[in-house]
Structure 1
Amino acid sequence: MNATWVDDSDDDVYVRSRHRRQRQRLRSASVASTSTILPSTADEGDEFCEIIEEDDAEADVLFASEVIDLTEDESQRLILPHRPNETELDSIVAPCGLTVKPTNCIQISDTYLGELKINFLQVTTIIRDYDGATFIRGIPFTRVRHLNGKLRDRLNEVCMVLHQHRQPGKKPDSPVLVDVEPQRVIRWRTLIVTNAPFPVHAVDINRYARSRSLEQKRIAAEKSAHIVCRWSITITYSITATNRNKAEEELLEHLRSDDLLDAKYRVSDKEVSELWRGPRQRGGGWKTTAESLKSLNIPISRCPGQTYTLFDSFSGAGGVSRGAQDAGFKIRYAIDKEREV
């Protein structure tokens, strides 16, 4: 993943906004099966401004070019690198009284990017369009709990959401930014983008709501503590004549040192790798010593009919499962994310 992209796409890509009540009948098995943005029609019960200390470091802007609307506009809108007649603003005062500027990280109310709930936005630009409407544009983040179990749910851990569009025979377009309306703003949040493994920079829950229950501490920390991003999920859509918004690929990646601009939160990739899998040993980790050799003449005790089992979690057309079955394995499960399989 690189810090900048070059956008060479001249093709128009359409998205359609829908009300939340329509989302149930349009959902598919994918985490984010469409690039449509669906804001909730329900108000958040705790929608108020709380001023949290802002991060003084420069924002880690990891991608920029195209835009998706997180608005309630029912019309189709183009996703273009630069929309005509847009004016950049230095700041904006949200209806809740919060002043929002580029590089701020803000918490936003119940808003969806396809299937995926968006909780936070790292602001890159504030724009006013040709109709005089004002939007806050930036990089979307979701709490890891909304990734359908792809990552373990940890307090205030978030994942960056990158959307790309791919046309047949072409490389994927640059990841898109999103637009939200000022009334969606709840409060400022401090965002730490790091490639350090958990629990480095993690929230200390004991600092919040002392002498209260664990659940009360968690609620207080979720409202006001800093948030930490260590992962990104890239969702690539295939754009065809019959289906312009089909999720074709999902890629979940741990951030690398090259993705970060702030050295304070950067760890060498070698160190991260060794913490995950152990140190590397020059010449190889396997030593053919007498202690490592095992006799091949030891009989194997096996009950009648006993065999190995197999769980094929990416079965596709079933070739692996069929081959394993022919080899004597017992196929316990064979699943695939595609409905057609």
Structure 2
Amino acid sequence: MPGLLSLDPGGDLEVLFERQSGGRRSRGSSVSSTCTVGRDEPVQTIFLDLSSDDEVIDLTIDDSETTTAQIKYGEHALTSYRGPSGIIKPGDFVEVQQVKIGKYQVNFILISAIVRTIMGEHKIRGIPYIRNRYLCNMLPKKRNEVCQILHFDKDDVTRAPTLVDANIRFVRKPHTLIITNAIWPQHSAASPCVGLVHDQAGEGCVAEETDPLVCRWKFEIRSLRQAAMFKPLEECLVRVHESEVSEAKYRVAEAEISNIWRGRSFPGGSWPLEAEERPTTDIKTNGHRPTPRRASQKYTLFDSFAGAGGVSRGAKMAGLKVTHAIDKAAEVWPTYRTNFPDTRLFQGSVDEYVRAERRCPRADFLHLSPPCQFFSPAHTRESVHDDTNIFALFSCGSLIDKVRPRIVTVEQTFGITHDRHRMYLCTLINDFTQYGYSVRWKIVKLCTWGSAQDRKRLIMIAAAPGERLPPYPDALYSENGAGGLKPFVTIREALQGIRQSDPLHNTSTVKHFEPPRPPYNPDRLAGTLTTSGSDSCYPDGTRDFTLREFACLQGFPWYHRFQGTRTSIKRQIGNAFPPNTVMVLYQHLESWLLKQDGMTRHQPSSNNIICLTDRAHDDIQIIDTPVGYSPRRQKSVRQQNQSYRMYRSGMHEPLEIEDHTTAEAYAPAQGGSMAIDLTW
């Protein structure tokens, strides 16, 4: 059999047999595996197929040698094994050679089992580890620091990580492993040559052979099995948590780590800023945490590369307070200021902001949407803006250090995951891990979060030192409502709330087609909108989309206003992160932080609630028109069906009375009906 070796008859080996796993393994019952190890061929290799523009990477895997189970059918488990490097046993941490997982070199294995196969081959099986410096620059290159690699099969009901095999001949020697959640350089080896590694030529250092190895990180890969293939769905680099550290001397309280990194935090949100009027938490002393939070209390967002305000709008719809924003493009400043007059907008680049601001507020959330054109699969030739866009990506690390948020979100084109741009993705990940942020990344089809487009984006979530890393929101929508979810939002649903009198919706000024283009069914997803506005047309084929229709297809609510020329507004819309999907993301993250803070949402008194579905209030009208903004839009309980559709397609934002918002109740001329006027 290829990849299997026999032992030398005259070798100095001592084998202690423990048990045999009974039963015969059939070809149809292969167990979960990731890789194989052999002598004369490249081993433990996962092949990455990046030949297409699909966001999913194929991992080709031999299904015969590794497993989530410690013992396979027909194998003998050994209590120990004596070889040239001494006696090894389960629980030992050993160095290995000629073991790879894709491009990653496996350097060590924490042994779960030692086995003898029916072919007489001896193997170790366990969890793989890699030196940080070999992890494609995703972790700081520090000597004698290692990272655990955990591969999970999404469909494996045991939820156990896959174990890798290594032939006993490729085992070198045992090492001491320290598992800690402390921030480097705590517990790092004291040898003079231990520190930053600027190249991969550090193996000759004495410290590499004698000093303990320190593990502070886990690299997790979650994949979907398809026959003998795995398709990775999600990857993450996660700091070891204090609950995973068994020895007390290597354990540090996560609250203390958080306090050292960003100082005092406000459970339930840091808005409003009058800290002396509200209970706060000194994380280092784990003080009092109130529940529920105050009515006006909110988590804050710092929106960088803000553009026309897609993220700010979605975050506000989710209930966050947008306090700061940055963008250097002059064409978006009027649009942003019109929609968010209370947000402090810095008109310049991220680098200019970092240099100009001596102090920066500790926002709860930071969002990064650096320019993506250079990394897009559609980018096939050089542009004069390429270098500028790349430098913008490299500025993210300095802003993270400046703001020190609890949670960071990133939106980017999925093209950055392709092989030709992978180095930039790894550099971006390193911007987080160098400060101790855990980070996860995957490509999301935004239609599963409510977008009316068949649009996919790379979404990253990062958590500060001392914070738990949130998962992604579950899918809310599916094709035809499969799996008990809502059906995808269609073109028809995204456009149905628009009125002829709405701003930017003058159908007489858009391009009309003679002869008309072929009509199409609007009960489907739209294609991805671009900065040029897409090549699609209105469903009846007679005309182009209006700017308001483009905005609604991109997930903007009807009241979001745009400033600029038609070309500029199209560019602003096309560059935006769809606000209705942003709302889904931040509602999920807000719930996560509330749970971590031990808080609950504010529940208003029943005396302050009017139920509009009550027939007793059937004559109440809600007038939610901004000051100086027309036409006036009235919604009553008789329009429940329309309101539901507007909310479902992301066109409706729950209104609130705060800041400069006022409410006025009056009786219009229509028979004394009650009306509530909310103006902002």
- The answer to whether the superposition gives a TM-score over 0.5 is yes
> Does 1:20 pair with 2:20?
no
- Return the alpha-carbon distance in structure 2 between the equivalents of residues 175 and 184 of structure 1: 22
SS in 2 for 1:34: strand
Deviations 1:119-165 (A, max 9, x none): 01112222222333221122210011222222111111111010111
Q: Tell me if structure 2 keeps the 8 A contact 1:106–1:121.
A: yes
Q: Tell me if structure 1 keeps the 8 A contact 2:43–2:99.
A: no
> Does 1:188 pair with 2:174?
yes
- Return the alpha-carbon distance in structure 2 between the equivalents of residues 79 and 216 of structure 1: 33
> Does 1:129 pair with 2:117?
yes
- Return the alpha-carbon distance in structure 2 between the equivalents of residues 16 and 304 of structure 1: 52
Deviations 1:73-118 (A, max 9, x none): xxx4473624123322221123x33221222211111310233210
* Aligned mate of 2:235, from 250, 262, 276: 250
| Residue equivalent to 1:34 | 59
Residues 50-199 of structure 1: matches in 2 within 5 Å? 76-77=64-65, 79=67, 81=69, 82-94=71-83, 96-167=84-155, 173-199=159-185
| Residue equivalent to 1:274 | 259
Go from structure 1 to structure 2 and tell me whether the alpha carbon gap of 1:155 and 1:128 turns closer, same or farther (over 3 Å shift).
Answer: same
- Return the alpha-carbon distance in structure 2 between the equivalents of residues 327 and 134 of structure 1: 62
Query: Under a length normalisation based on structure 2, what TM-score does the superposition of the two structures give?
Result: 0.34
Q: Which has the higher strand share?
A: 1
Q: Tell me if structure 1 keeps the 8 A contact 2:65–2:165.
A: no
Go from structure 1 to structure 2 and tell me whether the alpha carbon gap of 1:321 and 1:192 turns closer, same or farther (over 3 Å shift).
Answer: farther
Q: Which has the higher helix share?
A: 2
Q: Tell me if structure 2 keeps the 8 A contact 1:36–1:114.
A: no
Q: Taking every aligned residue pair, what percent have the same amino acid on both sides? A: 25
SS in 1 for 2:142: coil
- Return the alpha-carbon distance in structure 1 between the equivalents of residues 226 and 165 of structure 2: 25
- Displacement of 1:15 in angstroms is 5.4
Moved more, 275-284 or 126-135: 275-284
Deviations 1:232-285 (A, max 9, x none): 0111121124x6222221121101112122222111121222233323256865
> Does 1:226 pair with 2:247?
no
Go from structure 1 to structure 2 and tell me whether the alpha carbon gap of 1:93 and 1:265 turns closer, same or farther (over 3 Å shift).
Answer: same
- Displacement of 1:328 in angstroms is 4.2
Go from structure 1 to structure 2 and tell me whether the alpha carbon gap of 1:80 and 1:152 turns closer, same or farther (over 3 Å shift).
Answer: closer
| Residue equivalent to 1:63 | none
Q: Tell me if structure 1 keeps the 8 A contact 2:66–2:165.
A: no
- AA matched with 1:177: L
- Return the alpha-carbon distance in structure 2 between the equivalents of residues 86 and 21 of structure 1: 21
- AA matched with 1:197: I
SS in 2 for 1:145: helix
Higher relative contact order (CA 8 A, sep 6+): 1
SS in 2 for 1:90: strand
- Return the alpha-carbon distance in structure 1 between the equivalents of residues 205 and 569 of structure 2: 49
Q: Tell me if structure 2 keeps the 8 A contact 1:35–1:163.
A: no
SS in 1 for 2:205: helix
Structure 1: tracts of 5 or more residues without a match: 1-9, 38-67, 69-75, 209-214, 290-301, 332-341
Deviations 1:214-239 (A, max 9, x none): x8897222222211000101111211
Go from structure 1 to structure 2 and tell me whether the alpha carbon gap of 1:283 and 1:249 turns closer, same or farther (over 3 Å shift).
Answer: closer
CA RMSD of aligned residues (A): 4.0
> Does 1:238 pair with 2:224?
yes
Q: Radius of gyration: which is bigger? A: 2
Q: Tell me if structure 2 keeps the 8 A contact 1:165–1:172.
A: no
| Residue equivalent to 2:652 | none
- Displacement of 1:327 in angstroms is 6.3
Query: Under a length normalisation based on structure 1, what TM-score does the superposition of the two structures give?
Result: 0.63
